[in-house]
Amino acid sequence: MKYNNIEVERRSPHLGAFIGGVDLSKGLNDEEINEVRQALLEFSVIFFRDQSITSEQQLRLAAQFGEIDNPHPVFDNDERDARLTIIESKGRAHDSEHYWHTDVTYQEAPSMGSILAAKIIPESGGDTLFASLYAAYDTLSSPIKRMCEELTAQHSFERGWGTTFRMLDGGEDRLHELKKIFPLMTHPVLRTHPETGRTALYVNEYYTSRINDVSEAESDALLKLLHHHAQLPDFQIRHCWRVGDVAFWDNRCTQHYASNDYGATHRLMNRVTLVGDKPFFRKL
């Protein structure tokens, strides 16, 4: 696509682009909103450098691209507006969520995407890696693609967050309550993107607990294969954060991984998440 109102620099063959020529603190006009949305659909994750935005400006920016989601059930939330999630680390003993994942796939309608703003960054480390689930699907062999078309998988809140909660005082009781709110959820193993129509592989090692349609042994083996394939470096980019960076990713066709290599160094990110829709698969 040709872009007339924003600057776009591709970062890799499969996903990622730097977006320039806009000041997010001032908001975006209609033409810029349309082109940023198109860039997100084309590149799956986009990055804005040297942006100084307040929490309120970040919320306003997110609202230009969809409905803002409810507060995150685990992370801390801003006292002034709980829709802004605070992701902060200073070497937490219970910090166990460093796995490749697509956000909140344990929900019936996982988030459409998130906008993440870097506020405090370690001198080194703390990068985030993103992987294209379009590319992961496209490069599967034809027999595996055909098999996956028929499959669904369970996604579990407990699988992702159980270890974290069990390290906290009273965490077992809190986990029990959250499992009532977020029971086991079934999604197709392949997902059709509702806007692009492209097919993405839709399992992740953090929340996907098993494939429903096969034996446990077959499920374990197939998930191991699919997770390994989705995490190949061929489909990835690695973002080295700077204070003032803002990332916007499409949660319907990507996975990401927050590198836990910075020890007790302070890292602080503000995130706003957008409401998504129920995953579906439509065979072409």
Q: Is 14 a catalytic residue?
A: no
Q: Is 256 a catalytic residue?
A: yes
CB contact burial 26-38 (16+ within 10 A = b; e otherwise): eebeeebbebbbb
Give the integer Cα–Cα distance in Å for 80 and 110.
25
**Among 72, 159, 256, 267, the one annotated catalytic:** 256
Q: Is 174 a catalytic residue?
A: no
**Among 69, 83, 103, 155, the one annotated catalytic:** 103
Q: Is 242 exposed, middle or buried (0-12, 13-18, 19+ CB in 10 A)?
A: exposed
Q: Is 193 a catalytic residue?
A: no
Q: Is 143 exposed, middle or buried (0-12, 13-18, 19+ CB in 10 A)?
A: exposed
**Among 191, 239, 252, 271, the one annotated catalytic:** 271
Could you give the angle at which helices 157-166 and 171-181 cross, rounded to 10 degrees? 160
Residue 67 identity (one-letter amino acid)? E
**Among 14, 101, 229, 252, the one annotated catalytic:** 101
Catalytic positions are 101, 103, 256, 271
